[in-house]
Amino acid sequence: MQITYNNEKSIFKIDTENSSYIMMIRRNGYLQHLYYGAYVSDFDLEYLITDMVNESFSPWAPSAGVKYFALDIQPQEYSCNGTGDYRVSAFSVETSKGNSSTSLKYLSHEIFDGKKGLKGLPSTYVNDKTEAKTLEISMKDEVSGALVILSYSVISGFDAIMRSVRVKNNSDTPFFIEKVYSTCVDFNDKDYDLIHLYGTWAAERSIERKPLIKGIQEIASKRGSSSHNHNPFIALVSHDTTEDFGSAYGFALCYSGNFSAKVEVDTFDQTRVIMGINPEDFKWKLFPGEEFTAPEAIMVYSGTGIGGMSRQMHKIIRKHICRGKYKNIRRPILINNWEATYFNFDTEKLLKIAKAAVPLGIEMLVMDDGWFGVRNDESASIGDWVVNEKKLPGGLSALTKELNKLGMKFGLWFEPEIVSFNSDLYRAHPDWCLHVDGYDRSVGRETAVLDFTRKEVVDHVFNMVSNVLRSADISYVKWDFNRNLTEVGSDALPSDQQKEVFHRYVLGVYDLAERLTSTFPDILFEGCSGGGGRFDCGMFYYFPQIWTSDDTDAFERCKIQYGTSIAYPASVMSAHVSASPNHQTGRSMPFKTRGNVATSGSFGYELDLSIISDEEKEMVKYQVNRYKELYNTIVCGDNYRIIDPFTNNRWCAWEYVSEDKSQAVLTYVVTKSNIKGRYLLKLKGLLPDAVYREKESGRTYRGDTLMNAGLNLGKDFQDGDSEILVFDKI
């Protein structure tokens, strides 16, 4: 890793292990992008630019000091709006005079060891200055007085560049930031496929791969959260890139609110990618002397296919985004009562489940929705975080004392950002939810969204939640968020700042998450938003795991977890064994397979363990022990996707290899056995010369044999058959 600046040619070069990123100050201060891709030794790639085109429909910039310097056809490092570049732009301010023409010119730069945090926002971090290098380039818009600081960091050992942008108002009048994307990359070709992860509630992160078309393609959310629908991650891969070969660029935004990722192929066959806060419904009034920080974008380059890109992302998230006590230690295996009881539970029922769970090796009981206020169904009480002693006599302390006697930890569910219309909180403070006077307050699961732009609202929630967390021995919190934002207005802001509400809301969420996680450092926080509706790098900074999906059907989970793995590691994916037939799909599935699929995540159970058969109890014991044994390989190892459930209608398979390559864990699931075919596959990521023993059969193979000749898994399968095979290096 290194960052250099060549004074003579005014060229910046950022090198990671296997990639290079080059830009240049040209023509009176225009910062122009020269290259991003596989490592190159030379820094002077100015020759790639085609400078002059006498084209009257691309007007040129006279201040460049040379005729026909048209921004519209030039690669830009951070494109601006309204001054000659007609492609999608990364930055625009509206001045006090009401104009939106913006032009940034180079001012100065600084290269230093380490990496700064982002004020009020999640971001990648390093523990030691020597682990990272940062380049900050200051750019100035002469008319508005905007000072824009472009930040680029690299972390040793990674092919990743972390980018963020700060905007300062150095003038003496306020201006409005209309858009401030976090990254902008110009490629001088167009031969890419766009990969993105789309979905809906209970079917998150399906993989879509399509060749770029000429024009603008956008992946975005306007829902106030990163959303089930489109994830804040995209990849550009060459047309011939496969899982294991070829170049792949991943772009992930550390942000949990409205985002936009735009890709434009222009008429000159150049491609521009921008990613950041969605400028729709956004406008930020920046007062003199103030600074605005845009979220961090992570850019990953892989020359070893989509798999290589994913593994880079996984490692960055595990090592440089996730924090806290549970970053590196195994998380407790839990039993969650939601699908076992829904709202219909009391202390007795919970203890019955806990008593059944303890001898099976399960370590924590999680009490889900319904323990507070008068909440017996969806219609009431969110916001009233006071224990319902009718269900739980003696409160949480009585319950946790009993659980502690059993040797069990305890966790519980909250929905901090939400208020039920039928709640004491809403009756006391009807103005504390987001709303716009004159319009209906849209209803989502009988609730509204609290106005987290207001400090007193966040303070109130912090105090209520903290009181509960202090009242008993609590080891875990599931932080849910079950609706999207509507009527996004706040009573606390003037009319010309209403378009700040979406972003201020997210800042309020991060503020609460930071305060709660730092006040209760021993508690494991799990994120959730109707399953995986807010599953992004921003959330992982506070919550090292997130409930991947409300769909717990093992076949559906094969797809959801496989799609999720394109960007995110197993360590952040909560996965539970639930009842059969499955409550979401009605599909029946062997207990073994439900366990096998859930093992590729942060593992737990979500069914009534007090009523399962003795045979199933034995299976739970086995699965729990195996998970403990395989934890390091699955949760801290490298993921290799082998058979894709989106394109193969018979079966799917994936593998984890420990960092030192001494163990591989292969999982396969047969989804449709009556479609004829053979069940052969090749492992990946092993040491070719090492000998591996397959645990169950005791048979030994060389690594190169497993990777090149592969395995024959047999033939007489039924729908839903599955296996986890463990290969230990001997």
Active-site option among 85, 384, 451, 480: 480
Nearer to ligand GLA, 302 or 388 (CB): 388
Active-site option among 550, 638, 719, 721: 550
- Binding string, residues 661-690; x marks residues near ligand GLA by CB under 6 A: ------------------------------
**Do 548 and 495 contact (CB within 8 A), yes or no?**
no
H or E element that contains 629: helix 614-636
Rounded-to-integer distance, Cα 79 and Cα 347, Å: 59
- Binding string, residues 189-228; x marks residues near ligand GLA by CB under 6 A: ----------------------------------------
- Could you give the 3-state DSSP secondary structure of residue 465? helix
Tokens of 404: 């502690």
Q: Quote the DSSP letter at residue 589.
A: -
Nearer to ligand GLA, 369 or 638 (CB): 369
Task: Please report how close the Cβ of residue 528 comes to ligand GLA at its closest, in angstroms.
Answer: 5
What's the CA angle centered on 321, arms 319 and 324, to 5 degrees?
A: 80
Out of 85, 369, 553, 719, which residue is the one contacting ligand GLA (CB under 6 A)? Answer: 369
Task: Please report how close the Cβ of residue 542 comes to ligand GLA at its closest, in angstroms.
Answer: 17
> Which residues in 503-562 contact ligand GLA (CB under 6 A)?
528, 530-531, 547, 550
373 belongs to the binding site for ligand GLA (CB under 6 A): no
Sheet with 192-200: strands ordered across: 105-113, 132-140, 146-155, 160-169, 291-302, 248-253, 230-238, 192-200, 203-211
Task: Please report how close the Cβ of residue 549 comes to ligand GLA at its closest, in angstroms.
Answer: 8
Nearer to ligand GLA, 312 or 574 (CB): 574
Out of 30, 338, 476, 502, which residue is the one contacting ligand GLA (CB under 6 A)? Answer: 338
Question: Which 3-state string (H, E, C) describes 61-104?
Answer: CHHHCCCCECHHHCCCCCCECCCCCCCCCCEEEECCCCCCCCCC
Task: Please report how close the Cβ of residue 274 comes to ligand GLA at its closest, in angstroms.
Answer: 32
**689 is annotated as an active-site residue:** no
Nearer to ligand GLA, 35 or 413 (CB): 413
Out of 372, 413, 432, 505, which residue is the one contacting ligand GLA (CB under 6 A)? Answer: 413
> Which residues in 447-486 contact ligand GLA (CB under 6 A)?
480, 482
Rounded-to-integer distance, Cα 629 and Cα 686, Å: 19
Nearer to ligand GLA, 308 or 530 (CB): 530
Positive or negative, the CA dihedral 548, 196, 644, 666 is negative
Nearer to ligand GLA, 29 or 444 (CB): 444
DSSP notation for 363-392: -EEEE-S-SBTT-SSTTS-TT---B-TTTS
Rounded-to-integer distance, Cα 448 and Cα 439, Å: 13
Nearer to ligand GLA, 123 or 552 (CB): 552
Q: Quote the DSSP letter at residue 132.
A: E
Applying CB under 6 A, the site for ligand GLA has a residue count of 11
Give the nearest residue (CB) to ligand GLA.
Answer: 369
| Of 366, 355, 337, 363, residue with least CA distance to 625 | 363
Residue entry with tokens 């858009």 = 179
Rounded-to-integer distance, Cα 727 and Cα 709, Å: 16
Task: Please report how close the Cβ of residue 479 comes to ligand GLA at its closest, in angstroms.
Answer: 10
Tokens of 314: 């996984």
Q: Quote the DSSP letter at residue 705.
A: I
Task: Please report how close the Cβ of residue 633 comes to ligand GLA at its closest, in angstroms.
Answer: 27
**Do 556 and 203 contact (CB within 8 A), yes or no?**
yes
Total residue count of the chain as it appears in this document: 730
**Do 222 and 310 contact (CB within 8 A), yes or no?**
no
* CA dist 298 → 365, 493, 558 (Å): 36, 32, 26
Beta-strand pair 105-113/132-140: antiparallel
Task: Please report how close the Cβ of residue 1 comes to ligand GLA at its closest, in angstroms.
Answer: 40
Out of 15, 178, 204, 368, which residue is the one contacting ligand GLA (CB under 6 A)? Answer: 368
DSSP notation for 170-236: -SSS-EEEEEEEEEEEEES---EEEEEEEEETTEEEEEEEEE--SEEEEEEE-SSSS-SSEEEEEEE
Task: Please report how close the Cβ of residue 370 comes to ligand GLA at its closest, in angstroms.
Answer: 8
- Binding string, residues 483-502; x marks residues near ligand GLA by CB under 6 A: --------------------
Task: Please report how close the Cβ of residue 199 comes to ligand GLA at its closest, in angstroms.
Answer: 14
**550 is annotated as an active-site residue:** yes
**Do 425 and 380 contact (CB within 8 A), yes or no?**
no
Task: Please report how close the Cβ of residue 23 comes to ligand GLA at its closest, in angstroms.
Answer: 43
> Which residues in 3-32 contact ligand GLA (CB under 6 A)?
none
| Of 50, 71, 105, residue with least CA distance to 272 | 71
Task: Please report how close the Cβ of residue 408 comes to ligand GLA at its closest, in angstroms.
Answer: 20
Binding site for ligand GLA (CB under 6 A): 338, 368-369, 413, 480, 482, 528, 530-531, 547, 550
- The residues that are catalytic are 480, 550
